[in-house]
Amino acid sequence: MKHYPTLLLALLLASTIESLSQPVYMTRNGKISFFSKTPLENIDAVNNEVFSALNTEKGEMAFSLSVKAFHFERSLMEEHFNENYMESEKFPKSTFSGKIDKLQDAHFDKDGKYNVTVTGDLTIHGVTKRVTVPGSLKVEKGKIEATAAFQIKPDDYGIKIPTIVIEKIAEVIDVSINCSYEPKSK
Asked whether residue 8 is assigned to any structural domain, the reply reads no
Asked whether residue 52 is assigned to any structural domain, the reply reads yes
CATH number of the domain residue 139 falls in: 2.40.128.110
Give the predicted TM-score (pTM) of the model. 0.83
CA 36 to each of CA 56, 66, 68, 78, 84: distance values in angstroms, whole numbers, following the listed order: 33, 20, 18, 14, 16
- Number of domains, the chain: 1
Asked whether residue 64 is assigned to any structural domain, the reply reads yes
Give the list of residues 6+ apart from residue 14 with CB closer than 8 angstroms, or none: none
Q: Report DSSP state, residue 141.
A: T
Asked whether residue 2 is assigned to any structural domain, the reply reads no
- 59: phi then psi, degrees, rounded to nearest 5: 75, 20
Asked whether residue 97 is assigned to any structural domain, the reply reads yes
- Note down the domain range covering 164: 23-183
Per-residue pLDDT of the chain (186 residues; tens, 9 = 90+): 554 443 433 444 344 334 444 599 999 999 999 998 887 788 899 999 999 999 999 999 999 999 999 999 999 989 989 998 999 999 999 999 999 999 999 999 899 999 999 999 999 999 999 999 999 999 999 899 999 999 999 999 999 887 777 777 888 999 999 999 999 875
